[in-house]
Every structure is written in structure tokens, then in C-alpha cells.
Chain A
Amino acid sequence: MENMANNRSVEPKVPVTIIQPKKGWQLFDLKKLIQYRDLFYFLVVRSIKVRYKQTVLGGLWAIIQPFAAMVIFTIFFGRLAKIPSDNVPYPIFSYSAMIAWTYFSTAIRNSGFSLVGSQSLITKVYFPRIIIPIAPVIAGLLDFSIAFVVLIGMMLFYHIHPTALTAVLPLLIIVMVLTASGVGSFLAALNAKYRDIGYTIPFIIQFWLFASPVVYPASMVPERFRMIYALNPMVGVIEGFRSALLGTTAFPFKLILISAVISVFLFLLGAFYFKQMERYFADII
């Protein structure tokens, strides 16, 4: 759909919609996205409000999930396997990674299943479809913030002072959100056509967990593989978090730069593939 300079109507303000088979491509229809920003807002609010409805613990789950993982990791990887933790106590070492990881894995899971779960919306109403996989990615930031507060509590408990580089955190969060958006919308579009993706997502997440420095430090990866390792954007994000907040290592500028570039690439790739597939969603979902 294009909004075109109006040459067919008397009233210059009346929008004209031209419906025809689409040719060529554009990444985003910004005008449409702006027009539907309220819908985006309500979908984000919906997924936040609905998430912990009819639970006893409610928002506490945002803390319990990374916290429980931290306890398990501390026992098995910290105590038993004695994996080094860059000179900070293992619990806070793994928790600082878990909050980012929990956000990321939840975001790509919810995003990847979002289209398939919104059949009735897609087949009954028009709006820019990209809103659907992006909404859960944004909604997840609330849980992330709640879990982050606990991290601050743990830092106080362990008497760890954040470094001045904490100021870079927003940038790392953007890298994380961009990656989740790109991967999420790519998987969502693919899942709309091939439901195999739904079964693959848990594997992808599991594999990705071990490809990221969550239970072990990036310093364990041999120096010569470090740059390839950084192609996983979560490497830069998690190492950046630890370095800025816990002062574990010197700030890994190089890793973060690579991660940032890759995250932008993944975001564009996801958006592009989504756009290509968008026109078929109503017919094939």
C-alpha cells in the first residue's frame, strides 16, 4: 500500500489507498508505523499485563527466573566445575549475565511464536505486521529492569562498585534489543510458513546460551578465536555488562564494536525478510 500524492480527489486531505500486487521493496513504511503507534503501545501493554495474570508471585517471576538459574549455575559450574569468574564471586558473575540472557531468550522465543499466535489478528485486520514480533521484544524490557534492580542489590551485598563505563549500558541494551528484534522477526516470519521453526527455537536458544559467556567468562575462549566469537552479539553485550558494572576485565571495546555492527546487520536482515514475507502472511498462516 502506498499513500500517493493525491491527484484523483477534490479534497487534498483525503488519503488515497491504491491496492495492487506489490512490486519492488522497501524496508519500512514509516508513515504507516507512525499511524499505528497507538496499536503498538497497546500490544506492548497487553503482553506486559497478561504475562503474570492469575499467578501468585506476579512480577517476582521476573526475578526468580534468572535468580534460580544463577543458583543452579553457581552450584554446578562455579562450585563443582570450578569455572573461573574473572575475580568476582560466581553468583554475581552469572547473575549479571543471566539478566541479559533471560531477556534475550524470552524475547526471541515470544517474538518467534508471535505471528503464529496472532492468526486472528493477521487474517482479520490490517496494520503493519512488524508490530507483532517487535511488541514482545519491547515488553520484555520491563522484566529486564526488575531483574536489574536485584543486580544492584547484589552489588551492594558484595560491595562491588560500578565503573564509570556504566554510562555505556544504554548502548549495550540497544544492541541487545536490536539483535532480539532482528532474530525474533526473522524466526517469526519463517515460522509462519514452516512450523518446524517452532520446534527449532528451543534448540537455538540452548545452543546460543552456550555460545555466549553466561556460565563462563569470554577470557576462557582462546585469544585467536575471540573475534569470531564476538560475531555473536550477546558476547559483547554480556562482557560489556560485566566489565562496566563489576569491573571484571578491561572494557572490551573491540568485542562490543563487532557485536554492535552485527546486531544492526541482524536487525536489517530480520526486517527485510519479514517485509518480503509479510504479504503472504494472511494467506498462509
Chain B
Amino acid sequence: MNKPVITVENLSKRYRIGLREKKYRTFREVLKDGITAPLRNLARLRRLTRFDDENAKEEDVIWALRDISFEVPQGQVLGIIGRNGAGKTTLLKILSNITEPTRGCAFIQGRVGSLLEVGTGFHPELTGRENVFLNGAILGMKKAEIGRKLDEIVAFAEIEKFIDTPVKRYSSGMFVRLAFAVAAHLEPEILLVDEVLAVGDIAFQKKCLGKMGHVAAEGRTVLFVSHNMLAIRALCNRAILLDEGKLVMDDEPEKVIQEYVSYENMNEAEVVWDDRSSQPGNELIKLVSMRTRDSSGNLTSIFQRDQSIIVEFEFDLARLEENLHIGLDLKTGDGIVLFRSHHTDGAEKDWATLTVGRNILQCVVPANFLKLGRYLISPVIGLHYGQLIVGPDPLLSFTVIEGKPISRFWIIQQGKRGVTAPILHWKHINVKSP
């Protein structure tokens, strides 16, 4: 095992967040408060850089990181995952020396390059070339080094023709490509990367992933924050999970991702209308709630590719209506309708039986069918040959992430042709050779 190049010991960081503003009730209060406001503001602003005793309970202090310790050996690509606000970015900011920790320390051996954002310092009035130099210098490159790599950077960004055009005339895609191209040519021994792959189109993201993989293959150490589990799986050989500033898991990426996915935001998986007047529908049918479950019945909005997705409708029916259909539209995140399904699509004997009063209907989207990404579900409830009662605006969303590939030739999905990626059965028919 290699010696650690990054050693983090009990790293903690606290921030002071502003207290909520008071609500005024009377005119007198407003007046009195207005007059004394400067004094209170002064006290508040002074407190920004002052903290009381570490253990004192102050209500406007949050610990963004709490006693984080880990080591990273040379050449390892460490994925950092966690919800928004878990402390991932704070950790990278401390290691990049942008902000200092409240307690604890870190030792880093080697030149550190950090990439918390692409295009930092880009000035709209300057040309692509000028911005490459400026941004390169901001990321810690030397002038001569940038000059040497300029052609390569421009080629990577695919903007050769526009290199002497002010970047304010660029399309947003060109802008992002150029910004990432500069960053991708950083060559530090240790690279700290925040969620920067979330930009650009899919083709460019793939190119960036390739570049990152290349970086990792060269034996450089990388700390990589991402919400893109596919990227974590593809690039990292270890992952840590942060939750509310604490390190809760440190293991192989596969296991950490499982853990993360299992408790990831449940709320998105369900919409409930408690208040009868807000329930979508009419006098015939009122939608009470909608949710997505996995095959074991757990509420979730994140599914592995090899899991089936159960979409559940809960509604109140005033009377039985023969023409009524309950259905859904499944759309991709880009708004392409993948299909519409009704509960009355199959043979009549197979139709689910509805009753007057509360009903729950489930629709199963099969496993190994959707490509990776985000999907939107719209309820489509109406009468055949008649009005649409509910729909078709999307009300739920879920995300399909990579599962365990069954085949060793299963290629990265975004690269596969087609809108869906079903695994179909292939059968061999014996014929006599002529």
C-alpha cells in the first residue's frame, strides 16, 4: 500500500448562519427597531468572525464538518458523496486552502489543484484566448505552461474558430467546454474536484469522464465530489459518505452508493394532497396521493437499472364509471414522452377492479428497461372518448442509476443507441448446415 499523500485529522468547521429576522407586530416596534437597528447590525456583523467557546450552544452556529478523519494513499481516486449540505464542498474548500478549519488539521503532500467550479474568473469581455490564460493562472498554472498547452486546450474545447472572440458572444455550451478544457489540463499531483461534470451536454460529459479516468490512470490522487453515481462507480476505487458534516461510511464505492441510495431523499418519492379542496380531480374522482416504490415496497425515488419501479395511485371514487381510465405518461428528463399507459390497455378480464371509495392502483415499470437518468411521471386520468380529468403535468420524478451489470459487455448506457435500453431475450434456432 502506498504512503498516504493526504492525511486528514479531526477536521471540523463551523459557520455562523444568520438568525431569522424578527417579525414586527406594531408600528411602535417597527419604529423602535428601526432606530436601534444599526447597533444590532454592528453586533451581528462583528460576531461573524468571532465565536464563543467551542462547546457553548449558540443557536446560529452550524457545524459544516465534524471530526472528519481519513487518509488517501497516492494514486487513489476517492469519491465523496452525500446530500446537499452534507459538507462535501466545505471539505474540498478546506483542503484547497480557501477557508480554514475551526479545528483539526490536514497534511497534503504534493501540488494541489482544485476545481470547485469551471470558468472561475472568466471575463465576458475578454477573448477565449485571454480567458484561457487568466483562468489557467487562477487555477495555479504558470504562464509558460498555459502557452504550451493552449492548442491542446482549444482543440479539446472544439472552439478553434472562436478563440479570438470575446466569450460573451459564445453559446453557453462553448463557454462551458472552454472552461472545462482549461481545468482538464491542470496537472497537479493532487486534484480536488467538485461537482463540475454536471455541466455541458452528454457527449462532452463523456469526454470529461474519459479525461478524468485518464488522470486517475496516471497515478495522480483525486478527490471527487459528485451526485453522478455512474461517474463515482466508473472512476473511484473508494468512496466516503458524509451526512450532516460527519463521515458515516468509508468503503468500496459500490457499498457506499448502496447505503447512500437507501436513505436518499424519500420525500421526492411521494406527493400527498391532505386537503380535499387541493386534490386534483372532479366530483367523480379525486387523487389523494401518488408515490414510487421499489419491489420490496419501500418508498424511493432512486432506482437501480435492474430494479422494477412501482408507481402507485391512491384516489377516491364517487361512483363506478365504465369509461374511466387511470393512466400515466412517462417522460424523460428532457421532456420526451416515452409512453402512455392506461389500466384498461390489456384484455378486459385482466383490468384491475375499481371500487367506490378509496382505491390504490399500482403500475409496474419493468426492470432492465429504462436508460439511466431522470424521469417524470404525469398522471393521466380521464374518460375514454371524453374529458381528461387529471393530467398531463408531471407530478413525480425518479432517477434510474446504474445497477450491477449482468453482462460483462454491457456498455455505458448513455453511449447506447435508442431511447430505452431493454434487455431482451435472444434465442438460437438450430438449422442444418447446407
Question: A residues within 8 Å of B by Cβ?
Answer: 1, 8-10, 14-22, 36, 38-39, 41-43, 45-46, 49-50, 53-54, 120-127, 193-194, 277, 279-280, 282-284
Contacts and interface: CB of A to CB of B under 8 A. Distances in A.
A21 B100 contact: yes
Contacts of B45: 193-194
A110 to B, nearest CB: 15
Given A54-B125, A279-B100, A125 B120 contact: yes
B111 A123 contact: no
A113 to B, nearest CB: 16
Interface stretch (B137-145, B234-242, B352-360): B137-145
A212 to B, nearest CB: 31
Contact of B110 (A1, A15, A18, A49): A15
Nearest to B121: A121
A19 B138 contact: no
A284 B48 contact: yes
B314 to A, nearest CB: 45
Contacts of A123: 93, 98
A18 B166 CA distance: 40
Nearest to B145: A38
Contacts of B130: 45-46, 49
Of A9, A39, A54, which is in contact with the most chain B CB atoms at under 10 Å from its CB? A39
Nearest to B119: A120
Contacts of B134: 42-43, 45-46
Contacts of A194: 45
B49 A125 contact: no
Given A19-B106, A21-B102, A53-B125, 5 more contacts: A19-B108, A46-B130, A54-B125, A125-B138, A282-B98
B116 A18 contact: no
Nearest to A11: B109
A156 to B, nearest CB: 36
A7 to B, nearest CB: 11
Contacts of B105: 18-20
B325 interface: no
Contact of B107 (A17, A38, A125): A17
Given A21-B101, A41-B143, A126-B97, A16 B15 contact: no
7 contacts: A16-B108, A19-B94, A38-B137, A49-B130, A123-B98, A193-B49, A282-B93
B99 interface: yes
A283 B110 contact: no
The 4 closest A-B pairs by CB, nearest first: A20-B105, A282-B99, A39-B137, A126-B97
A21 B14 CA distance: 12
Contacts of A1: 97
Given A19-B97, A19-B101, A54-B125, A283 B15 contact: yes
B114 interface: yes
Contact of A120 (B114, B117, B137): B117
Given A14-B109, A284-B48, A127 B138 contact: yes
Nearest to B127: A49
Contacts of B95: 19
A49 B48 contact: no
Contacts of A22: 100
B96 interface: yes
B280 interface: no
Of B104, B126, B141, B189, which is in contact with the most chain A CB atoms at under 10 Å from its CB? B126
Interface string B300-321: 0000000000000000000000
A279 B105 CA distance: 15
Contacts of B116: 124-125
Nearest to A284: B48
A284 to B, nearest CB: 5
Nearest to B141: A38
Contacts of B110: 14-15
A243 to B, nearest CB: 41
Contacts of A19: 94-95, 97, 100-101, 105-108
A116 B307 CA distance: 49
A4 to B, nearest CB: 10
A265 B429 CA distance: 93
A42 B94 CA distance: 25
A18 B117 contact: no
A284 B109 contact: no
B207 interface: no
A109 B117 CA distance: 28
A126 B111 CA distance: 13
A125 B108 contact: no
Contacts of B149: none
A18 B7 CA distance: 10
A133 to B, nearest CB: 16
A42 B134 CA distance: 6
A164 B120 CA distance: 49
Contact of B189 (A14, A36, A122): A14
A252 B352 CA distance: 101
B224 interface: no
A280 B48 contact: yes
B96 A125 contact: yes
A49 B134 CA distance: 12
